[in-house]
């Protein structure tokens, strides 16, 4: 358990090492990256396996004074929620490295930025001090720009800039809110628990606006409607591994921030904004789904589907009871894995070989005959994305629906409509992209064999598929980590009723 | 009573094991693939036979019950159980599964994938009929869509893309609301086990707990679950996906879809909706009765209008399956139905489920034979005087048609007769109107019989029309045999379900 | 008034070292090095200059503490920290200067740089109006010369002239303001002025005096609306001079004026912590701060020239630093010093990178930095650290500087008063600023190099100073208490 902070250190060390050896040997850089990702993931899995929940709160890993003049401590702690997301990060990182095995241009730098991003993300999930949280959150921003701008595809400079500026703007809002809360609370400490304590005394107006700032800042990164427009553009522009990470893990940073910082610190403020959050979550689910239904670019469909699935996470958070929030965290994990799979197929397996993402072009290629492994993986990933039982999305959505019924039945009904829309666009994209028929009237499409799926891709895909099926069949593995964490005193102010 | 052998789990999972074997087995010839798949598929019949021997119809409750903890945080268990209703459907699946594969024996395009999908579909259907907790039940229910989709999409006719898409989306749409309904049920009661929930419902506790949701929500829960089941059956007017899907699907898939998958919907009504929401069903039964009658009449009259033979049989399926729901809704619409009439209606419903599977499966197969001989054409005007070329085929097909019409002596009669007798005693007008369906069915099936098999040789059957091959005979003959068997000796089935129906009728009084 | 000349001499040893060093450089060059090439003369001069700077640093650290010479100078922690800071920044600028092999009069350049450094260190310690003015003028005049030093380019002369004219005007304002203060209070010692001011009611004349002082402050800090000289000077001056102006001059200027305002004029400070605002010099500083942030950030968006971009960025940072000045009264000078010092390192470092690139070609437009990652990974990495620090990305020092200034400013009154709104504005604009900083980094790290651009070999002295600066930024970012614990 106390090895958990090493996930952060290993990632950053791996980044520097990869940078150093990359010039001489891309292969060595890949090896370093894989070793780093696997080791960190192994530590995370081991810690999750051995974890014993503490009813009082997160288990402290590292805690010593850092900047005493401002009450800032280097304080890392983990509870079931952090562990779930740390395991997800490790999985996404490993799969991402495997799917980036074919990066030839500036390989060392690629993995350096990649691992730096991963290190920042690990840090966010393990921080127990608001300043430290924010530092890691911002560290994760800059590598994204370079990953997209250097190795991306469509419209990469615009996509990279938009993504980074939105993320930074979101974090600016969070900074404003946190600093305000810190100053108003007497400026003693940045520890999240202490800030929550101090916030009890804030006036209603203060709570409302502090919550608005912090939640909005995090929600931008989580892709909440209507601040989601950076997500499809950015994800499409990004190279495969970056899209996997961005949609799979980085968007979860925003939701995690909402859950860990915004909601427990300002419960009164949360209650004020709760109806609006419900609306925005539901609109996000349905609207993004409808947009996905009419997209002509393969990757845009997946990009919008990510926004739609994150809407479910926000819905669960908005319902604010133990059941719904545990479903939201499970959905964070589930969607992280599924988004990774979808982007891996679209970006790495299909685009790198066919050099097109236009559905109209893919329709004519009958890819299920030429890339059967990719077709199977994509069908399974699509089923998972639809919320088909047997995959991880189903228990997550069921739990969120149960929790939402308790607070806002109307939102649950609209969410069910969202499930239908998700099925529609997922099935459409599966159908058109892989199972299209070559138009018999046109001249024969180039049926030259496509490069076979490499071992690295197969390993990555099986890893992710295995994860989603495992959690789909045994969601208790994660739910038993998540629920006790939500029943600690820290969350009680904002979560109503512990029984469910 | 549970034996040491987990019989029900074997029944459900052996076909899936077969699918895995087909997936990973090294290079196999087409013939070996088909035989292997057939063997796995026949396992269901074999194991169902064992269950049949050990089954005690008079024992109340579920037999061969199995239960394992699954998702403790949601109080979900993997529970399987068998009673008379499930046993009948088990047998139906065990029969139609292998026959669907036999019907696809000549399919040259990727037979391995084809049979793999059939095995997956069979296993999923078996799971639906045996699961007693919502999550596993829903898992099998949803997963059955996947192989069905691919079967239609990859081996279907020209309009297969749209038909398959519509089929899946409609069903998932309904299921989404069913999921929503069950989420609310879990919230109110803390369990998703069908047995526990029906216990709560019969004592009235379920309605009270749901009422805690307030406002329109308890009714919304009922309608959500109703919607999910109604789309699957299908209940008019949620049937619009069916004609295209059945018509575009390859023959074997159509047989299984009409024979087994539509029964999953009716089974859902009997196993879930009725026990859990008796009061709500009673309140809305008049409206639902209209819908069932609508399905009966509309299905038959629409079939009359068709020139495509496969679509004709598809609409006829709507008609026949609506009879099952007619029986159920008639029983529900009265607060104190007469026990005799209710017994007749319910027995008829279950028998009709089985018998329609047999006869509709046979009919689809016959149309498939016609289509295969004619190079893809299957219009009613494309054939003539087939009888002269293929007397065996004409004979077997004729028997299937008469079974579907409901000729006494064949299996189709028993179910329909009992339903009509029951409904007449409960809601006479509904029975009267439904007779229109009977007449229309007779009309179009006799027209089919006359135009295709009799009369001058025409169309595809002008020059040559080969009679049934060995495989085809092996597919059709057992079905026809069963039509005779269950037509003359319906008690072979009724003995399994009588105690069950009696106990249903005994508990009809609403709480 | 005790005039302890021994203490004074001890206290001013760093200045002495610098002057002696400057004279030594000049003398050696005039006599022994006439025949050598410009490059060699530069090497010797820079070496000697560095030696003098190291000596000055050591002497500054080991100098006496507390007031000296009857309160004319004060050597508190702020002063000593600033002295060490400006000397290190001058070292950084010297490293930048050592790259320019073709510059004429190298020894004179180094000497004037050392004089400027002497002016800065004196500004840091001044507690009397006249000494402050003297130090300021010494520094400014040196900077004017350094700006116009490149006789080969007319832009340099134009920049020098502009700087001189603006600076002269500002100096005039300052002197006039000081004279008014003397007239009103009868003293030129800051503590005594404060004492006198706390008994007097504020009148119109005092306000005029304050405004005049603030005009000079605004000029020195390159704050709007007194910023108009900055873009041209940063663009036209030789790179090392621009580096010095951006780093050491800013730090020294902020130290001097913060001391003047807080030690001398705190009774008439006023407040912007809540509404309504109470009159004093703080509201004026707040207004200047807000204006600077807006002008600086929006101006930088439009720039194609990397030096002008850095100039506008300097204007924007001045705005934030002024917020730190406002917060100094209640929360001490730690955040302000930290921010100013680390900003200086980052800005100086950025100019250093520009100088090295310029040595092998030209570096005026942003696109001249294209492909730096391939031409010199060291420079690209250092530039990334400096630019990201300017943008305020953790874990670099620039982030913590902004953070601590915002925190102390918000503690003044939360979001109830203008100071809180200014903080929110600053945070919002920093999000905007990331855009133009990323434009620079995009050229350096993403774009491919121009076909004519080849590999850059970084001279060892420059490489050492740039690397040291980068390491320092990272180190101070990770352990800010290294500096904060001094206060």
Asked whether C455 and C376 are in contact (CB, 8 A), the reply is yes
Given a cut of 80, whether residue B132 has pLDDT beyond it is yes
Listed in order, strand segments (DSSP E) in A97-216 are none
Which domain range does residue C332 map to?
A: 275-487
At B407, phi and psi to the nearest 5?
A: -75, 130
Is C283 found in the same domain as C255?
Answer: no
Tell me the three state secondary structure of residue C203.
coil
Say yes or no for a CB contact (<8 Å) between C373 and A164. Answer: no
At A475, phi and psi to the nearest 5?
A: -65, -15
Is C471 found in the same domain as C356?
Answer: yes
Is C246 found in the same domain as C383?
Answer: no
Is C312 found in the same domain as C435?
Answer: yes
Q: Which residues pair with B131 in a beta bridge?
A: B80
Instruction: Spell out which residues of chain C touch residue A183, defining contact as CB-CB under 8 Å.
Output: 407, 410-411, 414
Would an 8 Å CB–CB cutoff place A417 in contact with chain B? yes
Asked whether A308 and A288 are in contact (CB, 8 A), the reply is yes
What residues in chain A have per-residue pLDDT under 70? 438-447, 496-500
Distance from CA of A329 to the nearest CA of B (A): 14
Distance from CA of A196 to the nearest CA of B (A): 29
Is C258 found in the same domain as C183?
Answer: yes
Asked whether A367 and A350 are in contact (CB, 8 A), the reply is yes
Distance from CA of C35 to the nearest CA of A (A): 44
Would an 8 Å CB–CB cutoff place B308 in contact with chain A? no
Asked whether C355 and C96 are in contact (CB, 8 A), the reply is yes
Asked whether A321 and A448 are in contact (CB, 8 A), the reply is no
Question: How far is residue B104 from each of residues B246, B251, B362, measured CA to CA in Å?
Answer: 15, 7, 14
Interface of C with A in 270-299 (CB under 8 A): none
The alpha helices in A408-435, defined as continuous H runs, are 409-434
Nearest-angstrom CA–CA distance, C231 and C65 = 38
Would an 8 Å CB–CB cutoff place A388 in contact with chain C? no
Tell me the three state secondary structure of residue C35.
coil
Is C192 found in the same domain as C49?
Answer: yes
Q: Do chains C and A touch (3 or more CB pairs under 8 A)?
A: yes
C371-391: pLDDT as tens digits: 899 899 999 999 999 999 999
Of C399, C410, C485, Cβ closest to residue A179: C410
Mutate to test the interface with A, among C323, C339, C394 (most CBs of A within 10 A): C394
Cα angle B406-B410-B415, degrees, rounded to a multiple of 5: 55
Given a cut of 80, whether residue B233 has pLDDT beyond it is yes
Asked whether B392 and B470 are in contact (CB, 8 A), the reply is no
Mutate to test the interface with A, among B180, B181, B209, B216 (most CBs of A within 10 A): B180
Asked whether C413 and C282 are in contact (CB, 8 A), the reply is no
Is C259 found in the same domain as C319?
Answer: no
Instruction: Spell out which residues of chain B touch residue A435, defining contact as CB-CB under 8 Å.
Output: 153-154
Say yes or no for a CB contact (<8 Å) between A67 and C480. Answer: yes
Contacts of A256 (CB under 8 A, 6+ apart): A81, A85, A124, A125, A332
Provide ipTM, 2 decimals: 0.90
Say yes or no for a CB contact (<8 Å) between C395 and A139. Answer: yes
Would an 8 Å CB–CB cutoff place A398 in contact with chain B? yes
- pLDDT attached to residue A500: 36
Would an 8 Å CB–CB cutoff place A469 in contact with chain B? no
Q: Which residues pair with A63 in a beta bridge?
A: A75
Of C420, C431, C441, Cβ closest to residue A169: C431
Contacts within 8 Å (CB) and 24+ apart, C42-45: C42/C97, C42/C98, C42/C100, C42/C101, C42/C103, C42/C106, C42/C110, C43/C98, C44/C107, C45/C106, C45/C107, C45/C109, C45/C110, C45/C111
Question: How far is residue C319 from each of residues A166, C223, C313, measured CA to CA in Å?
Answer: 24, 7, 10
Structure tokens belonging to residue A378: 């994509």
Of A390, A416, A479, Cβ closest to residue B176: A416
Distance from CA of A473 to the nearest CA of B (A): 8
Listed in order, strand segments (DSSP E) in B307-398 are 383-384
Tell me the three state secondary structure of residue A476.
helix
Distance from CA of C127 to the nearest CA of A (A): 27
- pLDDT attached to residue A447: 62
Mutate to test the interface with B, among A327, A369, A386, A416 (most CBs of B within 10 A): A416
Residue A2: count other Cβ atoms within 10 Å of its Cβ: 12
Structure tokens belonging to residue C142: 């040196």
Residues in chain C: 487
Residue A208: count other Cβ atoms within 10 Å of its Cβ: 18
Contacts of C276 (CB under 8 A, 6+ apart): none
At C148, phi and psi to the nearest 5?
A: -90, 20
Question: How far is residue A48 from each of residues A1, A94, A480, C87, measured CA to CA in Å?
Answer: 8, 17, 11, 52
Would an 8 Å CB–CB cutoff place C373 in contact with chain A? yes
Given a cut of 90, whether residue B356 has pLDDT beyond it is yes
Question: How far is residue A188 from each of residues A193, B510, C125, measured CA to CA in Å?
Answer: 12, 65, 32
Chains that touch C (3 or more CB pairs under 8 A): A
Please report the sign of the dihedral spanned by the C-alpha atoms of residue B5, residue B11, residue B12, residue B13. positive
Q: Which residues pair with C68 in a beta bridge?
A: C73
The alpha helices in A200-229, defined as continuous H runs, are 204-222
Is C327 found in the same domain as C204?
Answer: no
Nearest-angstrom CA–CA distance, A410 and C66 = 71
Tell me the three state secondary structure of residue C33.
coil
Structure tokens belonging to residue B392: 């065996």
Say yes or no for a CB contact (<8 Å) between A388 and B142. Answer: yes
Q: How confident is the model at residue B510 (pLDDT cuts 50, 70, 90)?
A: low
Distance from CA of A138 to the nearest CA of C (A): 6
Structure tokens belonging to residue A481: 């980590």
- pLDDT attached to residue B1: 43
Is C50 found in the same domain as C145?
Answer: yes
At A66, phi and psi to the nearest 5?
A: -120, -60
Chains that touch B (3 or more CB pairs under 8 A): A
Asked whether B314 and B436 are in contact (CB, 8 A), the reply is no
Q: Which of C234, C268, C302 is the last residue of a domain?
A: C268
Would an 8 Å CB–CB cutoff place A390 in contact with chain B? yes
Q: Which of C238, C268, C298 is the last residue of a domain?
A: C268
Instruction: Spell out which residues of chain A touch residue B139, defining contact as CB-CB under 8 Å.
Output: 389-390, 394
Nearest-angstrom CA–CA distance, B454 and C73 = 123
Torsional class of C330: left (φ above 0), alpha (ψ -120 to 50), beta (otherwise):
alpha
Nearest-angstrom CA–CA distance, B350 and A212 = 59
Nearest-angstrom CA–CA distance, C226 and C309 = 17
Instruction: Spell out which residues of chain A touch residue C411, defining contact as CB-CB under 8 Å.
Output: 183, 187
Smallest CA-to-CA distance from C402 within C327, C310, C469 is with: C327
- pLDDT attached to residue A40: 95
The domain total for chain C is 2
Please report the sign of the dihedral spanned by the C-alpha atoms of residue A404, residue A276, residue A232, residue A456. negative
Distance from CA of A5 to the nearest CA of B (A): 29
Say yes or no for a CB contact (<8 Å) between A398 and B74. Answer: yes
At A382, phi and psi to the nearest 5?
A: -65, -40
C287-335: pLDDT as tens digits: 999 999 999 999 999 999 999 999 999 999 999 999 999 999 888 899 9
Q: Which of C224, C250, C268 is the last residue of a domain?
A: C268
Chains that touch A (3 or more CB pairs under 8 A): B, C
C277-290: pLDDT as tens digits: 888 899 999 999 99
| Cis previous bond, C289, omega within 30 | no
Mutate to test the interface with A, among C335, C427, C474 (most CBs of A within 10 A): C427
Asked whether B371 and B377 are in contact (CB, 8 A), the reply is yes
Query: What is the signed CA dihedral for C213, C216, C217, C219, rounded to 10 degrees?
Result: 160
Q: Which residue has the higher pLDDT, B388 or B232?
A: B232
Question: How far is residue B344 from each of residues B423, B428, B436, measured CA to CA in Å?
Answer: 8, 14, 21
Smallest CA-to-CA distance from C119 within C99, C95, C98, C143 is with: C143
- pLDDT attached to residue B4: 66
Pairing of strands B76-82, B383-384: unpaired
B251-303: pLDDT as tens digits: 999 999 999 999 999 999 999 999 999 888 999 999 999 999 999 999 999 99
Cα angle B357-B361-B364, degrees, rounded to a multiple of 5: 145
Q: Do chains B and A touch (3 or more CB pairs under 8 A)?
A: yes
Tell me the three state secondary structure of residue A62.
strand
Is C146 found in the same domain as C56?
Answer: yes
Given a cut of 60, whether residue C1 has pLDDT beyond it is no
Which run of H or E residues covers position C27?
Answer: helix C13-31
Would an 8 Å CB–CB cutoff place A398 in contact with chain C? no
Say yes or no for a CB contact (<8 Å) between A139 and C410. Answer: no
- pLDDT attached to residue B55: 87
Is C348 found in the same domain as C480?
Answer: yes
Asked whether C400 and C407 are in contact (CB, 8 A), the reply is no
Residue ranges covered by each domain of chain A: 5-497
Is C328 found in the same domain as C205?
Answer: no
Given a cut of 80, whether residue B344 has pLDDT beyond it is yes
Mean of pLDDT over chain B: 90
Say yes or no for a CB contact (<8 Å) between B183 and A401. Answer: yes
Asked whether C411 and A183 are in contact (CB, 8 A), the reply is yes
């Amino acid at each position: 358990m106390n090895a958990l902070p090493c996930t952060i250190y290993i990632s950053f060390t791996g980044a520097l090492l990869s940078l150093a050896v990359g010039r001489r040997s891309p292969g060595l850089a890949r090896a370093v990256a894989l070793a780093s990702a696997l080791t960190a993931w192994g530590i995370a899995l081991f810690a999750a396996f051995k974890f014993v929940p503490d009813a009082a709160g997160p288990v402290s890993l590292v805690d010593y004074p850092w900047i005493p003049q401002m009450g800032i401590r280097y304080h890392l702690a983990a509870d079931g929620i952090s562990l779930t997301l740390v395991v997800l990060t490790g999985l996404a990182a490993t799969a991402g490295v495997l799917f980036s095995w074919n990066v030839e241009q500036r390989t060392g730098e690629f993995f350096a930025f990649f691992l730096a991003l991963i290190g920042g993300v690990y840090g966010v999930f393990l921080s127990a001090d608001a300043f430290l949280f924010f530092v890691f959150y911002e560290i994760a921003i800059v590598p994204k720009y370079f990953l997209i701008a250097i190795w991306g595809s469509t419209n990469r400079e615009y996509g990279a800039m938009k993504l980074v500026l939105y993320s930074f703007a979101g974090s600016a809002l969070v900074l404003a809110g946190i600093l305000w809360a810190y100053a108003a609370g007497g400026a003693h400490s940045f520890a999240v628990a202490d800030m929550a304590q101090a916030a009890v005394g804030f006036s209603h107006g203060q709570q409302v606006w502090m919550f608005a700032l912090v939640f909005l800042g995090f929600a931008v990164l989580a892709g909440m409607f209507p601040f989601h427009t950076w997500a499809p553009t950015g994800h499409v522009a990004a190279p495969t591994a970056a899209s996997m990470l961005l949609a799979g893990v980085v968007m979860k940073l925003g939701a995690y921030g909402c859950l860990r910082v915004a909601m427990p610190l300002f419960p009164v403020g949360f209650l004020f904004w709760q109806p609006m959050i419900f609306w925005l979550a539901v609109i996000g689910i349905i609207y993004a789904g409808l947009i996905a239904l009419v997209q002509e670019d393969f990757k845009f469909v997946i990009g919008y589907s990510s926004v739609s699935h994150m809407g479910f996470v926000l819905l669960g958070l908005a319902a604010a009871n133990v059941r719904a929030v545990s479903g939201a965290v499970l959905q964070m994990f589930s969607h992280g894995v599924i988004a990774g799979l979808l982007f891996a197929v679209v970006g790495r397996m299909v685009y790198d070989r066919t050099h097109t993402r236009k559905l109209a072009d893919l329709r004519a290629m009958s890819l299920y005959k030429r890339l059967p492994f990719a077709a199977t993986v994509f069908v399974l990933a699509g089923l998972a994305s639809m919320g088909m039982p047997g995959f991880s999305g189903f228990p997550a959505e069921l739990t969120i629906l149960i929790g939402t019924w308790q607070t806002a039945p109307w939102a649950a009904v609209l969410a069910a409509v969202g499930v239908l829309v998700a099925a529609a666009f997922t099935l459409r994209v599966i159908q058109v992209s892989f199972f299209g028929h070559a138009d018999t009237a046109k001249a024969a499409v180039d049926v030259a064999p496509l490069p076979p799926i490499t071992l690295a891709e197969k390993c990555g895909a099986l890893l992710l598929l295995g994860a989603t099926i495992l959690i789909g069949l045994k969601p208790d593995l994660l739910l038993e980590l998540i629920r006790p964490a939500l029943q600690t005193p820290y969350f009680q102010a904002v979560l109503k009723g512990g029984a469910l | 009573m549970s034996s040491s052998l987990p019989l029900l789990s074997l029944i459900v999972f052996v076909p899936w094991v077969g699918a895995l074997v087909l997936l990973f087995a090294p290079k196999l010839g087409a013939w070996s693939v088909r035989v292997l798949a057939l063997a796995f598929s026949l396992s269901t019949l074999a194991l169902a036979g064992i269950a049949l021997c050990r089954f005690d119809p008079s024992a109340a409750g579920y037999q061969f019950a199995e239960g394992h903890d699954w998702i403790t945080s949601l109080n979900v268990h993997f529970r399987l159980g068998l009673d008379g209703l499930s046993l009948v459907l088990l047998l139906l699946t065990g029969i139609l599964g292998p026959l669907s594969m036999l019907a696809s024996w000549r399919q040259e395009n990727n037979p391995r994938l084809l049979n793999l999908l059939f095995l997956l579909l069979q296993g999923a259907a078996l799971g639906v009929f045996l699961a007693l907790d919502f999550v596993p039940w829903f898992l099998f229910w949803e997963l059955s869509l996947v192989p069905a989709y691919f079967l239609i999409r990859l081996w279907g006719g020209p309009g297969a893309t749209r038909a398959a898409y519509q089929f899946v989306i409609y069903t998932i749409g309904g299921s989404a609301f069913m999921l929503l309904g069950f989420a609310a049920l879990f919230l109110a009661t803390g369990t998703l086990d069908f047995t526990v929930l029906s216990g709560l419902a019969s004592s009235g506790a379920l309605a009270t707990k749901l009422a805690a949701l307030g406002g329109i929500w308890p009714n919304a829960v009922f309608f959500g679950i109703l919607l999910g089941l109604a789309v699957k059956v299908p209940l008019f007017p949620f049937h619009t996906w069916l004609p295209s899907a059945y018509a575009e699907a390859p023959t074997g898939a159509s047989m299984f879809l009409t024979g087994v998958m539509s029964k999953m919907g009716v089974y859902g009504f009997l196993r879930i909706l009725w026990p859990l929401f008796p009061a709500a069903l009673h309140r809305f039964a008049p409206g639902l009765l209209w819908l069932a009658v609508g399905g009966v009449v509309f299905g038959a009259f629409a079939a009359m209008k068709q020139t495509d033979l496969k679509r004709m049989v598809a609409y006829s399926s709507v008609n026949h399956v609506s009879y099952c729901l007619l029986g159920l809704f008639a029983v529900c619409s009265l607060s104190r139905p007469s026990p005799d009439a209710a017994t007749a209606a319910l027995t008829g419903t279950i028998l009709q489920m089985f018998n329609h599977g047999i006869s509709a499966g046979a009919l689809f197969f016959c149309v498939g034979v016609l289509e295969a001989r004619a190079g893809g054409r299957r219009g009613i005007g494309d054939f003539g005087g087939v009888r002269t070329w293929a007397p065996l085929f004409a004979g077997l097909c004729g028997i299937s048609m008469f079974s579907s019409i409901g000729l006494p002596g064949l299996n189709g009669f028993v179910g329909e007769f009992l339903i009509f007798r029951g409904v007449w005693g409960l809601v006479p007008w509904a029975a009267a109107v439904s007779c229109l369906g009977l007449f229309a069915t007779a009309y179009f099936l006799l027209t089919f019989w006359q135009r295709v098999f009799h009369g001058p040789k025409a169309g595809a059957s002008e020059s040559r029309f080969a009679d049934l091959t060995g495989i085809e005979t092996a597919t059709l003959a057992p079905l026809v045999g069963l039509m005779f068997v269950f037509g003359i000796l319906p008690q072979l089935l009724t003995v399994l379900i009588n105690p069950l129906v009696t106990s249903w009728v005994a508990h009809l009084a609403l709480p | 008034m005790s005039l302890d000349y021994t203490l004074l001499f001890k206290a001013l040893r760093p200045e002495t070292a610098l002057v002696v060093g400057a004279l030594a450089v000049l003398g050696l060059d005039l006599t022994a090095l006439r025949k050598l090439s410009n490059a060699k003369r530069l090497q010797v001069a820079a070496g000697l200059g560095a030696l003098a700077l190291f000596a000055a640093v050591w002497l500054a650290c080991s100098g006496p503490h507390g007031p000296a010479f009857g309160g004319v100078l004060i050597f508190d922690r702020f002063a000593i920290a600033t002295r060490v800071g400006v000397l290190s920044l001058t070292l950084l600028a010297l490293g930048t200067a050592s790259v320019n092999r073709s510059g004429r009069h190298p020894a004179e350049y180094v000497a004037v740089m050392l004089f400027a450094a002497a002016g800065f260190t004196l500004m840091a310690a001044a507690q009397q109006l006249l000494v402050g003015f003297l130090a300021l003028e010494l520094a400014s005049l040196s900077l004017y010369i350094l700006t116009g030093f490149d006789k080969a380019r007319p832009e340099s002369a134009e920049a020098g002239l502009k700087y001189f004219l603006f600076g002269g005007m500002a100096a005039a304002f300052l002197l006039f303001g000081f004279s008014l203060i003397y007239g009103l209070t009868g003293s030129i010692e800051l503590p005594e002025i404060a004492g006198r001011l706390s008994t007097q009611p504020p009148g119109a004349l005092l306000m005029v005096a304050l405004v005049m002082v603030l005009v000079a402050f605004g000029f020195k800090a390159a704050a709007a609306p007194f910023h108009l000289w900055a873009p041209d000077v940063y663009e036209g001056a030789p790179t090392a001079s621009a580096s010095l102006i951006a780093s050491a001059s800013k730090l020294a200027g902020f130290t001097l004026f913060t001391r003047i305002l807080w030690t001398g004029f705190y009774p008439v400070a006023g407040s912007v912590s809540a509404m309504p605002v109470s009159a004093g010099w703080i509201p004026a500083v707040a207004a200047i701060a807000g204006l600077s942030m807006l002008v600086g950030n929006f101006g930088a968006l439009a720039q194609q020239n990397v030096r002008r971009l850095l100039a506008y960025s300097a204007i924007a940072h001045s705005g934030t630093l002024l917020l730190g000045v406002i917060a100094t009264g209640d929360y001490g000078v730690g955040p302000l010093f930290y921010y100013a010092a680390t900003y200086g390192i980052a800005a100086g470092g950025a100019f250093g990178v520009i100088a090295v690139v310029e040595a092998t070609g030209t570096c005026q437009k942003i696109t001249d930095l294209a492909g730096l990652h391939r031409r010199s990974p060291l420079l690209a990495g250092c530039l990334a650290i400096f630019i990201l620090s300017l943008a305020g990305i953790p874990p670099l020092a620039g982030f913590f500087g902004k953070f601590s200034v915002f925190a102390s400013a918000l503690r003044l009154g939360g979001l109830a008063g203008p100071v809180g709104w200014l903080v929110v504005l600053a945070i919002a604009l920093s999000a905007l600023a990331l855009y133009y900083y990323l434009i620079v980094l995009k050229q350096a790290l993403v774009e491919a190099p121009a076909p004519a651009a080849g590999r850059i070999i970084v001279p060892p002295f420059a490489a050492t100073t740039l690397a040291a600066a980068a390491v320092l930024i990272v180190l101070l970012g990770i352990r800010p208490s290294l500096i904060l614990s001094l206060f």
